[in-house]
Amino acid sequence: MSGEKALDSKRLLNSLLRKNAVASLFPILRDLGLQAALSHKAAFALHEDSLNAPKEIRVVVEHKPDLILEDLYRDVVSYDGYHFSIEFGKNLHLRHDSKDPKAQGKVCRVYFVQSGGAFPTVLEDFATVVHIADTPVLPLHAILLEEIVAQSRLQPPRPLKKGVANMIHKWLIATDLTPLEQFSPLWQSPEILTQIERHASRVPGAQEQWIIRGVGRHIFPAPSPATTIEQVLAPILPGDSEGNDESVGSDFNALVGPPDIAAPPLNVVIQTPRYTVIDIAARQVVFILGGLGFNLCAIVGSAASKLYSHGEAREPEKLDVLVLTPVSSSQDQACQWLKQQISLKDPTQFQFKHNSKKGKLSYKIHPDIVPPRRSRGNSRKCEVEISLPSAMGFPYLSPHDIVWIDNLPVIPFLTLLLSKLGIWPHHSKGALAGDVKQLLLLVPNLPLSVFRPWRERKLMAVEFQAASEVRVKRFCSTFPETSPTWRMLGFDVEM
């Protein structure tokens, strides 16, 4: 028998062993009242209709309060000791002895993985399980996540092996382009993002694939060393910005993928023209800042409120972006330099004017982009303001503190709330008070993956926290109906 025929014969045998194990196992799991689905290589082989998988199956089981995996192995053997037995090796698993005449004497290993409870939840809803060849199979995104979770839990941690990295890449490109964070909050967890960054460093072209599926560029190393403001700020004076574009570290056109505005992912919830323009401008600014080596940035102000409230907050009048890169230069000079660089990268849509210390950066939507609906006024334009942490009284946040909403980096919720509160005393109009109230209404329903007050407090400067305590009391004195929510956040509301 030739080598190729022998390989085909082996694959056919392994496929038969897996099929027989599945046929014996899943009726037992149903009788036990468990939701389960096939994962890993056997599941992917069914998705791509191939035979390329070993003689083992990995089964993800939905968490139940009384579920103990060791007991589950024993329960399966109790149900069917004719086919199943327990093997105590490096990893506890079941041995399925096939009684099929075509595979007499051959075995298939069975491993269980718990989803939920004390274990990471790799599938939020088992109703999304697909059935292929009468077998419940995890969706592709969950197969991918389950393997990355497995790699993140290895002890001691070890480098990603080439074979595993290539396997993950194959599964990655098989998924559709839906942002992964829509399937599970685990995709934003530090442990998973670390594994993604390691995978991208191992496999050429992987970074592009992760980015187009919603993973933020900020987790990947800059294409070239980041250019500091101090290195190029001195020569840049009003009217003297010519020829400095080359001094920026990376080639913008060589970055992975085109700017998001090439096919703008317009927010399907927020349909007002003003916000549509700001939404598109935000994606372009974040992209350009990444190309300049400033991967740490976040949307702040009213645009951030709009994202957190899913369109319920008032319309932003401008786009505010916080660049989370510590610099020792003058705040005004640094912001001016950043605005200049953004306009240099895309002069057709961004315009910079030296009309103040920090300069003015404006964005005008490209003529080829049509917003969902038009209105009177400057609905195709918006102002862009760049700020630095020290100017706003914020600490330097890490990438893990940024919240990603609709594939945009947003400042943490409590930090946003307290920054809005800080502006409130200086505005006589009720708009700022309304902003604060609107954010407070969101507190009871925010998921913990987005809202982490106990952690966010540690990110704030002591002075900022102290000032916020006073402002909260004053706000509650003026708007006593908000006191219960502030108490929920851990604030003392009594004057």
Closest CA to 337 of 359, 321, 365: 359
Q: Which of 411, 433, 468 represents a domain boundary (last residue)?
A: 411
> Whole-model pTM above 0.75?
no
Q: Are 302 and 253 within one domain? A: yes
- The token duo for 208 is 């592009």
pLDDT at 74: 93
Long-range contacts, 195-202 (Cβ 8 Å, 24+): 195/148, 195/151, 195/152, 195/160, 196/148, 197/221, 198/159, 198/160, 199/148, 199/160, 199/165, 199/168, 199/169, 202/160, 202/162, 202/165
Q: Are 295 and 385 within one domain? A: yes
pLDDT at 9: 86
Closest CA to 160 of 189, 191, 199: 199
Q: Are 93 and 158 within one domain? A: yes
Residue-by-residue pLDDT tens, the chain, 495 positions: 566 677 788 899 999 999 999 999 999 999 999 999 999 999 999 999 888 899 999 999 999 888 888 899 999 999 999 999 999 877 889 999 988 888 778 999 999 999 988 788 999 899 999 999 899 999 999 999 999 999 988 877 788 899 999 999 999 999 988 889 889 888 988 889 989 999 999 998 899 899 989 898 888 886 544 444 444 333 333 333 333 333 322 222 222 222 232 223 333 233 344 456 888 889 889 989 888 888 788 999 999 998 888 777 777 889 999 997 655 456 677 888 899 999 998 888 899 988 766 789 999 887 666 554 444 344 678 999 998 876 676 665 666 778 888 778 898 888 889 888 888 876 655 677 888 898 888 887 766 555 555 456 666 677 778 888 899 999 999 999 999 888 888 788 887
Cβ atoms of 86 and 73 within 8 Å: the answer is yes
Q: Are 234 and 165 within one domain? A: no
Q: Count CA within 13 A, CB hemisphere, residue 13.
A: 14
Domain that holds residue 456: 415-495
Q: Are 391 and 437 within one domain? A: no
Q: Are 157 and 50 within one domain? A: yes
pLDDT at 236: 32
pLDDT at 396: 56
pLDDT at 314: 77
- DSSP string of 11-79? HHHHHHHHHHHHHHHHHHHHHTT--EEEEHHHHHHHHTT-----SEEEEEEE--TT--HHHHHHHHHHH
Which CATH number do you get for residue 203? 3.30.460
d(CA 98, CA 109): 11
Torsion angle of C-alpha atoms 67, 69, 70, 73, degrees rounded to 10: 100
Q: Sign of the C-alpha dihedral, residues 144, 145, 149, 152? A: positive
Q: Are 392 and 492 within one domain? A: no
pLDDT at 270: 33
Amino acid at 273: P
H or E segment and range at residue 404: strand 403-405
Q: Are 470 and 326 within one domain? A: no
pLDDT at 265: 32
Q: Are 168 and 310 within one domain? A: no
- The token duo for 294 is 């400033």
State how many domains the chain has: 3
Q: Are 443 and 319 within one domain? A: no
Q: Are 383 and 453 within one domain? A: no
Q: Are 395 and 479 within one domain? A: no
Phi, psi of 312 (to 5 degrees): -85, -25
Q: Which of 178, 200, 216 represents a domain boundary (last residue)?
A: 216
Q: Which of 163, 181, 216 represents a domain boundary (last residue)?
A: 216
